[in-house]
Structures are given as structure tokens and as C-alpha cells.
Chain A
């Protein structure tokens, strides 16, 4: 037990150091960082304003009322911003390889995936999360469904489950970057397709819905937690979500290990 605690402490210390470094970098470009932060907050605010303005004229979107639609949007933001906050380092893997820093990371006494993911922890995203959390809590109080402790626990658990899938995607995209050194943009495809989850997946066609609960599970990442909070998700839905995220995670780890075996260190 003690070695495990020591290991967790070590990783927390590494994370703290990386966060401090990242914060210092951001402070050195304060104008750019401030513009970025304001931009992110504005995007969130504008979307919310438009959604509320549209719902002045339309009472429902499919079977959902305005508070429920906003909950889907807030869940999307929590997963999206949370992933960016924690896994942003994976976006720059190509540059690590080009500069030869990837080899250095592989020799360090920390898991390379942890080390790379935590490299550019964006504290601006943490600031963005504050209003997102506040609006999410407010939205929960406006739901017509009375949220029980069980619903709330299921929501948090499935949010975490969504983050696991998001991490798996980041690892797969990172592995592709290592293999091809051209696929760093692929992470943007993931992020762009993720935006389809801003709204309930039930608005899409059957084919897209099937895609969103299997190969590209944004439905499981975003819609399932929201539905659980509204008491609309059956228990087998939850089990399926956990099974799928486990499968994605294992596949991503396997892919990463195979990628490292084939990595030739050609850049250094």
C-alpha cells in the first residue's frame, strides 16, 4: 500500500511542477493568454445566450425542455474544457519528436503518457471551468425532474467515464502522431466532431446516432451523463457505457505500446 501512496505522491509532485512551468509560460504571454481566456468565456456565453433566445420561440427540442437542453450543452463543456485542461500536452507530441524531446521523456522515471499529457496544463481552462460549473449547478436546480443522490452520483460517474473515453482518444491521436508525425491535426478532428455533442444526440439521424454510441461515442460521453441526471438512463445503459470506455481505454493503451515498440527515434 505504502509504495502506491508514494507513487501517487511522486506523480502529484511532477504534475505540480509541470503546472507551475506551464503557468509561468502563460504569464509571459499575458496579452495573448487574456485574449484567449476572454474568447473562451465569450464563446460559452454567446452559445448560451443564443440557446436561451431560441427557446423563447420554441418550447422544446425533441423531448427536452430548455433546462434539459442547456444541461446537455453544459455537460459538453465540462468534458471538452476538462479534457483540454488535463490532456492538452498530447496536442504537441509532433514537436516533441521533431525537437528530440520525446526521447528525453521516454528516459525519465515517469509514465510517458502522464508526462506528455500534463506538459501544457492550461490554467486558463481551469478558470473557464468556474463559470461552467456555476451554470451547470444552476441548470440542475431548474430541471423539472427532482434530482436524487443516485442520479447525481450516476452523473458524476458517467462524466468521469466520458473523460476516460476522451483520454483514450487523445492517446490514440498521440500514437498516430508518433507513427506518422503528420497526424497532430487529427486531434482537431476529434475536437470538431465532439462539438456535435453540444446538443442531444437524439436530434441526429439513426446512422449518426449509431456512430455516436459505438465508434465515436460522443453520445456516451455527453448525452448519457445528462440523461442519467434526468433519470432517463437505464442501468444497462450505464453498464454499456463503462464497458465501452474500458474497451476504448485498453485499445488505446495497446496501440500506444505498439507505437513505442515501432518508434525508431529517428529525429534525435
Chain B
């Protein structure tokens, strides 16, 4: 009977490593069973299937609550339209500005809209509410990693946003006959895709970290709002940061923000040197490592203080 109960426990918690750690500390006698469970070959098909199902459910949910999605896109569209016409007017009588050609600057605005949809669209802002209402208990009981759960939901949200953003940019480009810069160097395209994926992972980790703050305060919406404002401006999600004074650019280059939008875009536009491309990869890796570590530590600490008050 005891063994049977333990099997149920393992079935519930083994995919979420964070909980198996707690289980180990609470039940040291059964540590050999955990080890044997770990040695058991994982059914990869099943593993993928549950995340694919979750992905599909997330898509359905987003498409069901279409108004939220629609309003998010309107916001993005209004930023694109205002910045496009601002830059268009600013360089209407010039060949270029600060090393950008007219075509590159306007492409910056258009590709920035795509990156906003792919990198900065995130659903982890719901984590604090789930914690304060005790809803995460339901997710913790499922055979899923908690971070995997949110990463899958996030991927579904990003994919929808990206599809919509591509359509918006295509229609807008056609309507206003926008000049669109496309690099002829295939290596730059590869580097751009790789750094964009890196930026996506980095932003997810940063946003997840803010979500985890929900374990300690139910008011994390204030600091998150503040963080998002800082991030958007320092990431180059409104204007290219090389318009700022050199000293400010140097400070920003050691922070994670410009590696989300500005550097991937500089690579796409062919403005980044080889050294800057390598630097972008390196900084993304360092910051991802840092935030992954911080998330692990804070998540474990958070679970210890979590009291499921809403339940």
C-alpha cells in the first residue's frame, strides 16, 4: 500500500524536478526508488505529446478569447504606424542618418514589430495571479514541469502573434510602399534567426523571474510595469539605441536588454560587425545562464513559502 502511494506520488511529481527535490528531502528513505525512477527510460513520444496537446489547447484558448489578442495587435500596430511615419518624416530629405540608410531605418521599425510579437509577447505575467489565487497547485499536480507548462503556453502565444504581425507588416508595407531591406548574406540571416531565438529564451527567463516574485508579493504588477517600460526603451523596441550618447550605449551593452531587440536587428540590417555578432551570442548565453540559475533558486525558495492561500 505504501509503495503504491509512493508510485502515485512519483507519477505526479517526477517531471517537475523542483518538486522531486522537495519529495527527496521529505522522504529520504525512498531515495533509491527515486533513483530507479530516474533510470527508467522516458517515453519521449508521451513526453512530447502532452506538451503538443497543451500547445494546441493554448492556441484554442487564444482564438476563443479573440478580443485580448485583437487588442494586443492593435497596440503593436499603433506603435509601428507612429514610428514608421515619424522616421519617414525625419529622414524625408536625407540620404541616411547615423549610418542607417532610409531603407534600413524604416526596415528597423517593421522588423521591430515582428520581434516585439515574437520576443516580447509573453504570457508569464499571469503567474503572480495564479500564485496569489492558489491556482498553481493544480498545475503542480500535473505531470508537467511548471516552467515547461508556461514555456509551451508562451510558444503558442508567440506563434499566433508572429503570424498576425507578419500579415500586418506585409499589408502595411504594401499599402505605403515601404522600402524593405533584405540582406544578401545568408550567414547574417542565420545569425539573426539564432540571436532572435536566444532573445526569446532570454526574455522568457526574465519574465518568468518576475512572475516568481508573486510568491512574495501579490503586487508584483507594479514592478513588472516599471520593468517593461525600462526594457522596451533599453532594448531598442521604440528607437535604435545608437541614437543615445556613447556612454549610455556602453552601460546598456552590459545589460541584457539590447540583446533582445537591438542587436538581433543590427545583425539583420548588416550593421553589426563579426565581433559584435559574437558578443551578442556570448552575452545572451551569459544572461540566459544567469536567469536560469536565479529562476531555479527563487522557484525552490518560492515553493517553500507557498501556502496555497487561495485554495
Hey, which chain B residues are within 8 Å of A195, CB to CB?
78-79, 82
Interface residue A130 (Cβ < 8 Å from any Cβ of B)? no
Chain B interface SS verdict (over half):
helix
Hey, which chain B residues are within 8 Å of A43, CB to CB?
229, 233
Hey, which chain A residues are within 8 Å of B291, CB to CB?
none
**Size category, A interface:** 35 or more
The reply to whether B226 and A54 contact each other, CB–CB distance below 8 Å, is: no
Interface residue A39 (Cβ < 8 Å from any Cβ of B)? yes
Whole-angstrom CA separation of A229 from B98 in the bound complex: 33
Hey, which chain A residues are within 8 Å of B238, CB to CB?
46-47, 50
| Stretch of A163-171, A186-194, A245-253 at the chain-chain interface | A186-194
Most buried by A among B70, B219, B222, B238: B222
Total CB contacts across the A-B interface at under 8 A: 109
**Contact A32 B71, CB 8 Å, known A61-B89, A203-B85, A205-B176:** no
**Contact A31 B223, CB 8 Å, known A185-B67, A203-B85:** yes
The reply to whether A192 and B86 contact each other, CB–CB distance below 8 Å, is: no
Interface residue A17 (Cβ < 8 Å from any Cβ of B)? no
Interface residues of B in 145-172 (CB under 8 A from A): none
**Contact A38 B226, CB 8 Å, known A29-B219, A192-B78:** yes
Partner of A193, one of B78, B86, B243: B78
**Contact A35 B78, CB 8 Å, known A57-B97, A189-B71, A203-B89:** no
The reply to whether B85 and A204 contact each other, CB–CB distance below 8 Å, is: yes
Interface residue A196 (Cβ < 8 Å from any Cβ of B)? yes
Interface mask (B56-87 → A, CB under 8 Å = 1, otherwise 0): 00000000000110110011011101100110
The reply to whether B222 and A35 contact each other, CB–CB distance below 8 Å, is: yes
Interface mask (A175-193 → B, CB under 8 Å = 1, otherwise 0): 0000000100100110011
Not counting A43-B233, A61-B89, A195-B79, a sample of 13 additional A-B residue pairs whose C-beta atoms are within 8 angstroms of each other reads: A35-B219, A35-B224, A38-B226, A39-B226, A49-B244, A53-B239, A53-B243, A54-B243, A57-B243, A58-B91, A185-B71, A195-B82, A196-B82
Q: CB within 8 Å of B: which residues of A?
A: 29-36, 38-40, 42-43, 46-47, 49-50, 53-54, 56-58, 61-62, 182, 185, 188-189, 192-193, 195-196, 198-199, 202-205, 208
